[in-house]
Amino acid sequence: MEQFRQQLAARLAPYMEKPAEEVRSMMETPPNPAWGDVAIPCFTLAKVKRQAPAKIAAALAGEIDLLGLAGKVEAVGGYLNITFDSSLVAREIIAGLMKEGVDYGNAKIGQDKKVVIDFSSPNIAKPFGIGHLRTTVIGHSLSRIYAELGYDVVRVNHIGDWGTQFGKLIVAYTLYGEGDSLAQDGVEKLFRLYVKFHQEAEANPALEVEAREWFRRLEGGDPVARRYWELFKEVSLEEFKRVYQVLGIEFDYILGESFYEPYLAPTIQEIADKGLAVLSDGALIVDLESFGMPPCLLKKSDGATLYATRDLAAALYRDRLYHPELLLYVVGQEQTLVFRQLAAVLRLMGEPAGDKVEHVSFGLFKFPEGRMSTRRGNIIFLEDVLQRSIEMAAAIIEAKNPELQDKAEIARQVGVGAIVFGDLRHGRIKDVTFDWDEILNFDGETGPYLQYTHARASAVLRKAQGSTVGELSDFALTDEYALPLIKLLGEFAPTVAKAAALFEPSVVARYVLDLAQEFNRFYHNCRIIGSDEKVEQTRLAIVLATKTVLARGLYLLGLSAVERM
């Protein structure tokens, strides 16, 4: 629909005595579709023309020539409401989708541009818990959304593989776990050892001293400490890989915090050379009072570096290597200050990266029991949740369609899709409470409902095998069920662009839900196969266009477009 709005802006510009771009920016979508496709408020014009908004709207409605573009123009209060020519809109959208597929209307605004997306980032030797689901699926969806717009997307997994916790883990492993094989359930075993360390250290503080010494040895390159660390990494990455394979997620680079260790001293030196680093109680900081923020701590009084130092080194490395338009960090909202400080320090350094850092924050993922904590040992493994969802989907599919072929693969696609969509349909800032009954409902606003709708469209096209799309019927294009669906199909490209601009996959999730609902209204109220030949061909074209767009929308969210259910 965007191309029609652009055409409308160009036609209205002379009458409104404004550039077409400004006219386009004034356009609103009426809350009730019956009022029109576009509403233009005339209140700002009233100040210039010194006339009442209603009078300006009425004058414009009477004098503008929108022949061949608009079917109806009317003034309502201070608004100019415009309804596009239904036949023109429907024909152009369906023809465009038939010819160009999902590229119809996509201006590829990211052509020849890069964006770096940092997401997922689980911690070595800790389970890939349900708490990591949000960053993983939001980041994955955004990477596909930006790629859809033509961006060259660099997907980075910033693994937590450095820090004092590794000293603790080495102590726990040497004391309690060295004889236990990590070949099976290795991460869970390491996790239990980590929990045990904290329990034992409460009664025996000497363990903390020993842990600090092991980490000092690791930092110094001690081969024994390093061998333990490499073992923990290998076991963890293998388990993470399994989860990513189930989710269908890949990264361009999996680089741990340790990768940036050689860059820390040069980064701190660079900050110091620019006169930004100051000593405060023995610690090295960057004063951010001018930004209304507490200081950014670069190095503690004992000489240890912090996350902030590694984040600065990583941001500089990525910006200087890739020269991206944006550096996105998909990290929980509790880290908001961290990324505000990161951007502020980079700006003080005069680095372009300072204006590229975007913290894509999100709320918590909750079970009814409340927030989860690693240290208490009650984390919920994401792999277990995915497996349970797949098993529940398999049981539902078996009950609904016992003769279905490839049930195991379809159950995997539906079970995983249920978990992913159960997250992404919510605005990312909102907390998400997990509900099995809700996410696996085939009739609600869920992943299975969307996949079932896609399978329904596929079934119609299989049944119509041999039919071809010929001349389109105005009657079939513009009836009360087809036209709203077609107009919605025309909104796919601007919806993707909006999702990218807001860093918000839920915009696409809401769109595909609306699309599925409109398609099901069309499906239940319009006879597709067996109607008049021209009408049948037109309706089949609508089904094909819907299937094409719905499949792409599902892909952007990280869901499989199921052909049969």
Please tell me whether residues 80 and 168 are part of one structural domain: no
Are 368 and 433 contacting, i.e. CB atoms less than 8 angstroms apart?
Answer: yes
pLDDT at position 239 is 92
- The answer on 194 and 60 residing in a single domain is no
Residue 64: predicted pLDDT: 81
Q: Could you tell me the residue range of the domain that residue 203 belongs to?
A: 163-251
The CATH number covering residue 451 comes to 1.10.730.10
Q: Are 91 and 472 in contact (CB under 8 A)?
A: yes
Contact 89, 486 (CB under 8 A): yes
Q: Compare 299 and 345 and report the one with higher pLDDT.
A: 345
pLDDT in tens, 356-374: 999 999 998 877 654 544 4
Mean per-residue pLDDT over the chain, rounded: 91
Residue 450 within a domain: yes
Q: Which residues pair with 327 in a beta bridge?
A: 116, 357
Last residue within a domain, chosen from 236, 251, 266: 251
Contact 396, 375 (CB under 8 A): no
Beta carbons within 10 angstroms of residue 432's beta carbon: 19
**Residue that is last in its domain, among 84, 101, 118:** 84
Q: What pLDDT, in 10s, does the model give residues 295-310? A: 999 988 876 677 889 9
Question: What DSSP line would sit under 141-194, residue for residue?
Answer: HHHHHHHHTT-EEEEEE--B--STHHHHHHHHIIIIITTS--TTTHHHHHHHHH
Question: Is 540 within the bounds of a domain?
Answer: yes
What is residue 332's predicted lDDT score, i.e. its pLDDT? 95
Number of domains in the chain: 3
Q: Is the separation of the CB atoms in 35 and 74 below 8 Å? A: no
pLDDT band at 378 (very low <50, low <70, confident <90, very high): low
Which of 251, 276, 293 delimits the end of a domain? Answer: 251
Check if the beta carbon of residue 430 is closer than 8 Å to that of residue 363.
yes
Q: Which pLDDT value is given to residue 253? A: 96
Q: What's the average model confidence in pLDDT over 97-123?
A: 94
Q: Which residue has the tokens 């944006």?
A: 326
| In a shared domain, residues 539 and 392 | yes
46 and 189 housed in the same domain: no
Question: Does 489 share its domain with 390?
Answer: yes
**417 falls within a domain:** yes
Work out the burial of residue 341: count CB atoms within 10 Å of its CB; fewer than 13 is exposed, 13-18 middle, 19 or more buried: buried
Residues 426 and 550 grouped into a single domain: yes
Please answer whether residues 113 and 151 qualify as being in contact, where contact means their C-beta atoms are separated by less than 8 angstroms. yes
User: What is the rounded distance in angstroms from the CA atom of residue 298 to the CA atom of residue 564?
Assistant: 55
Same structural domain for residues 74 and 194? no
Confidence at residue 171, expressed as pLDDT on a 0 to 100 scale: 96
Residue 469 in this model has a pLDDT that exceeds 70: no
- Whether 73 maps to a domain, the answer reads yes
For the stretch 526-548, pLDDT in tens is: 999 987 888 999 999 999 999 99
Kindly report, residue by residue over 479-531, the tens digit of the pLDDT: 999 999 999 999 999 999 999 999 999 999 999 999 999 999 999 999 999 87
- H or E stretch at 254: strand 253-254
Query: Does 452 map to a domain?
Result: yes
Task: Report the 10 Å Cβ neighbour count for 248.
Answer: 15
pLDDT above 60 for 93: yes
In this structure, the answer to whether residues 175 and 76 fall within a common structural domain is no
Q: What is the CATH number of the domain that holds 59?
A: 3.30.1360.70
Q: Domain check: are 412 and 533 in the same one? A: yes
Query: Helix, strand, coil proportions of the chain in percent (round to 5)?
Result: 60, 10, 30
Q: How far apart are CA 565 and CA 561, in angstroms?
A: 11
Residue 429 and residue 552 share a domain: yes
Distance CA 460, CA 453 (A): 11
pLDDT at 350 over 60: yes
100: in domain: no
Q: Does 277 fall in a domain?
A: no
H-state helical runs in 173-323:
186-203, 206-219, 223-247, 261-273, 307-322
Res 467: pLDDT: 67
For residue 366, which amino acid is it?
K
305/334: higher pLDDT: 334
Do 58 and 204 share a structural domain?
no
Higher pLDDT, 33 or 259: 259
pTM for the complete prediction?
A: 0.90
3-state secondary structure of 324: coil
Tell whether 333 is covered by a domain. Answer: no
Shared domain for 391 and 533, answered yes or no, is: yes
